[in-house]
Structure 1
Amino acid sequence: MRLSLDILSVDRASDDPMHRQIYAALRRFILDGQIAAHTLLPSTRSLAEDLKVGRNTVIAAYDQLLAEGFIEARAGSGTWVAPINQAKHADASPIRYNGSPRRLSSRGQTIVDGPQPPRNAGVINFHPGVPETASFPFSIWSSLLVRNSRSRDESLLGYLSFAGHPGLRATIASNISVSRGVDCSPEQVIVVTGAQAALDLVSRVLMDEGDHVWMEEPGYLGAKSAFLAAGAKLAPLKVDRRGWNLSDPELPPPRLIYVTPSCQWPFGTIMRIEERLQLLDIAERHGAWIVEDDFDGEYRFRGRPVPALRGLDQANHVVYIGSFGKTLLPALRIGYLIVPPELVSSFDKAVSITGQFAPLILQATVNDFIRQGYFATHLKRMRRLYARRQANFVKLCREHLGEWVTVSENDSGMQLLASFTRPLNDLDVVAAAVKEGLDVQAVSINYHSTEPEHGLLLGYAAMDERQILRAVLALRAAFKRLDLQ
């Protein structure tokens, strides 16, 4: 059957190129069934004359339709519509699914149902764990990054080194031996896209659905979400300001034990040496893995940082998680694991499959930043700055918020716990704070099993004195708003 395309036209005022208009119109006609299979299309010369366009314009449209299988060229007989099932492929009238509503997987539903801390752009940010960025040496960083971006070194451009840039792995191994007391080889360092990616990877590799995970109660929400998404059964490892209740008889035999021993989230407590040794003994007896999230381990303001639990591990039961998100920039999305020697090959392969490897050019830049001494200088400067800001923050809280909360200084960390002086629901306080243009995090969302304590976790590190005062006064206004209700 020969076809007349009087229904086809082009709009010369349109931003779309004319060959794309012709292609789109013919594709639509074919899918709608307006042009049947085995229909002979006009020659490119004939259609070009009809549309008053160049022949190459029509050829370009036909070539695209030919490449996608909508038409076929038959030697000596012209161009024909291919025998496709238009009803099956039609997109102008999409087929509607009339069955029961499609749902997420149980794992996906677990992920989306979990509580999330507030993230409201354009308001005062009291988020815990947010570092200072204004003092970051961007000129030095930019120079290093540009140099690596211009490099034609194949090790930065290909698919090598899934477990991390070799130089960065070696630098981390060397640096962490001095800073955190962890003795490891570069091969034991696995670089990933942040601490959350590390938690996800640990969950995939080291546990099966239904395994028991001892989870700090209260504990870090990101870890809880990763373990639940992997199908874990969480058992509350209860923590208070005095320490960890490792002798709780109600705790089942664990597969994993998750702890933040250097600066417990959210209390900021440091795990004592007797607790660390007891925890290692428990892991040994049960054949369990300990996941040590070294949260804020670098930020200790009095004395030297406490050595990591991994540094005491003689039985190699500890998987250590660290990150550059709080010591450099959160947007880098570079973290790392230090795994026991027996797990090196498994995690190396797992990273390549899950795609949780960080860009090699960024890794090389972090490596240069550390090796050339800029990291140590920046970290030392931030420790002094955060110590001053913490003291000022506590002073302002006592002056302006003492009627509602108590806030005390802590030896480590980038946030402080504000405990209520009267019965209040911290979610109500969060809602009132948002109305005052302030984001704060409720302590209660960090509980998953027991009756929660209510309070606020307040990050002070990213704000200068003027901003801290503004934030404290906004929180005071939020409390007064609640008092009037």
Structure 2
Amino acid sequence: MLHIEHKSKKPIYQQIYEQLKQDILEGKIPVGTRITSTRALAKELNIGRNTVENSYAQLALEGYITSKAGSGYVVNNTQFDLDQSVTKRVTMNKVPMAASGHKTQNIRYSFQYGSLDAASFPYKLWRQCMTEVLDGQHAQKVHREGDVQGDRDLRIQLMKYLYLSRGVNCKPEQIIICSGTQSALEILIRLFPYGEKKVALEEPCYNGVSVIFQRNEFEILSIPVHEDGIGLTELVTSPARIVYIAPSHQFPMGAVMPIHKRMEMLRWAQEYDNLIIEDDYDSEFRYNGRPIPALQSIDRYERVVYVGTFSKALSPGLRMAYMILPTWLLSAYQERFIGYQCTVPLIEQKILARFMADGHWEKHVRRLCLSQKKKHDILIHAIHQNMGSKVRIYGHQAGLHILLEFLDGQQEDELIRKALECKIKVCAASPFWLNKRNYKNNALILGYGMISETDIPKAVEILSRAWFS
């Protein structure tokens, strides 16, 4: 039974998370058990459902539980491998896994978002660069701790590339190499220059960001996303000192912020001495005209922290991202991170620096963009052809996914279940809404990075029959 201490300084969602995590680790909640639904637990504890959902989201993110279509959340087994004594207790008390009838290996077509097909990785060129980096003439350079901000050669290559491709203005000293976007945000939070910890997030937004701010005890102010990006009127009237946005391709809605609104955002930040975090997570993938210049490129007040990643165009497995700090935050960074080490292996940084210096990166991005545009166009055509006016498409013309809204009352869980029965994986949109009451529960995310061009029409045809017949 969960015990909530309302007078504690620790947020309620964190109390729930910690108690459930402990019960799972100790085997008190056996593997395969379906845990109490968010609605039932919220009612039992007399708290908001969003609080429970935040707790479950964190447990799912860390791998303790998994959301099963039609079954809610069930307890995973993988986390017990590190402790044999715990594993033994859990095995003795094990109950059958809630039957979903669908195993990952049975998936025929996957519309998983956020990743590319493994075949798109430039294996030959990467091995070539690795051989050059580890050659006897240069090998000594990788056998050292390196700079806390990341390899300088890589930062120089990034500076050049971002200026040409995104208009970003910076010096190598402003760039910090990080092991993912979440790692960049953890660093930035330690540099937070304001007393009140209030952050504005887009509604909906990438849940990997909301988790970081929640765990660092920020008050999250959800600001609705309109067709032209985050609601500026709502933002200006909020008490937020920092805002996290993806102005060039909002996730998951795909909104693009026009130039006049970008200027207004910068004026807001300058006038109120606030900070903007610009996440440019998939800027390479633009299918209609040239990529839009980054917000940072027109920032004359140094109010923008720019965050980017190599996960989309290379591989999430590299765990490599970067952050560009305004110069006025550099002294705070140098003071608070003295003695730290960069969290990205130096060898991988050196390989990527060589990959970029030899011109492979830009060629790789161009090839990828062409191939993903073809898949994007095929997917949009197939949806129009098979589903017509029954759905609305958001976020096309860029990125690696679309959001599909269903207009005839179909619900997310049922749509996912029917897709799985056809051995097709689609992704829920619900995790990206901070306030679930703002979500109509009638949308899915379809990524096309991992599915082949030839499979898309057939998969969409099957889905259409399953959803609308």
2:438 is aligned to 451
Q: Is the 8 A contact 1:299 1:383 kept in 2?
A: yes
CA gap of 1:203–1:121, structure 2 versus 1, over 3 A, is farther
| Pair 1:144-2:132 in alignment | no
| Pair 1:181-2:167 in alignment | yes
CA gap of 1:326–1:409, structure 2 versus 1, over 3 A, is closer
| Pair 1:418-2:404 in alignment | yes
Q: Is the 8 A contact 2:147 2:342 kept in 1?
A: no
Separation (CA, whole Å) in 1 of partners of 2:401 and 2:14: 35
Q: Is the 8 A contact 1:407 1:417 kept in 2?
A: yes
1:28 is aligned to none
Q: Give the AA of the match of 1:461.
A: G
Deviation of 1:445 (Å): 2.1
- The range that moved more, 339-348 or 293-302, is 339-348
Deviation of 1:403 (Å): 7.0
Separation (CA, whole Å) in 1 of partners of 2:147 and 2:403: 41
Listed one character per residue, the Cα deviations across residues 350-388 of structure 1 (whole Å, up to 9, x for unaligned) are: 567776621111011111111101111111111111111
Q: Give the AA of the match of 1:232.
A: F
- The range that moved more, 420-429 or 468-477, is 468-477
C-alpha RMSD over aligned residues: 2.9
Listed one character per residue, the Cα deviations across residues 244-265 of structure 1 (whole Å, up to 9, x for unaligned) are: 3111278422121010001011
* 1:48-127 equivalence runs, <5 A: 106=15, 109=18, 113-114=57-58, 121-122=104-105, 123=107, 124-127=109-112
Q: Pick from 143, 155, 170: which aligns with 1:157?
A: 143
2:95 is aligned to none
Structure 2, unmatched stretches of 5+, are 5-9, 19-53, 69-102
1:94 is aligned to none
Separation (CA, whole Å) in 2 of partners of 1:301 and 1:245: 25
TM-score (norm 2): 0.74
Secondary structure of the residue aligned to 2:186 is helix
Q: Pick from 432, 444, 464: which aligns with 1:476?
A: 464
Listed one character per residue, the Cα deviations across residues 218-265 of structure 1 (whole Å, up to 9, x for unaligned) are: 111111111111111111221122433111278422121010001011
Secondary structure of the residue aligned to 1:304 is coil
Q: Is the 8 A contact 1:208 1:232 kept in 2?
A: no
Separation (CA, whole Å) in 2 of partners of 1:420 and 1:352: 51
Deviation of 1:136 (Å): 2.8
Deviation of 1:409 (Å): 7.5
Identity of aligned residues (%): 27
Q: Is the 8 A contact 1:256 1:290 kept in 2?
A: yes
Q: Which has the higher contact order (CA 8 A, sep 6+)?
A: 2
Q: Is the 8 A contact 1:310 1:320 kept in 2?
A: yes
1:274 is aligned to 260
Q: Pick from 182, 186, 191: which aligns with 1:196?
A: 182
Q: Pick from 305, 326, 346: which aligns with 2:332?
A: 346
Listed one character per residue, the Cα deviations across residues 150-192 of structure 1 (whole Å, up to 9, x for unaligned) are: 5564442222212101100111111111111111000101001
Deviation of 1:107 (Å): 9.8
Secondary structure of the residue aligned to 1:406 is strand
1:357 is aligned to 343
Q: Is the 8 A contact 1:118 1:439 kept in 2?
A: no
| Pair 1:220-2:206 in alignment | yes
1:462 is aligned to 450
Separation (CA, whole Å) in 2 of partners of 1:181 and 1:403: 39
1:262 is aligned to 248
2:298 is aligned to 312
Separation (CA, whole Å) in 1 of partners of 2:116 and 2:190: 29
* 1:24-63 equivalence runs, <5 A: none
CA gap of 1:367–1:394, structure 2 versus 1, over 3 A, is same
1:379 is aligned to 365
Separation (CA, whole Å) in 1 of partners of 2:230 and 2:392: 23
Separation (CA, whole Å) in 2 of partners of 1:250 and 1:165: 38
Deviation of 1:434 (Å): 3.1
Deviation of 1:309 (Å): 0.5
CA gap of 1:297–1:284, structure 2 versus 1, over 3 A, is same
CA gap of 1:233–1:408, structure 2 versus 1, over 3 A, is closer
CA gap of 1:401–1:353, structure 2 versus 1, over 3 A, is farther
Separation (CA, whole Å) in 2 of partners of 1:137 and 1:252: 45
Structure 1, unmatched stretches of 5+, are 1-99
Deviation of 1:460 (Å): 1.0
2:120 is aligned to 135
CA gap of 1:296–1:419, structure 2 versus 1, over 3 A, is same
Separation (CA, whole Å) in 2 of partners of 1:196 and 1:426: 27
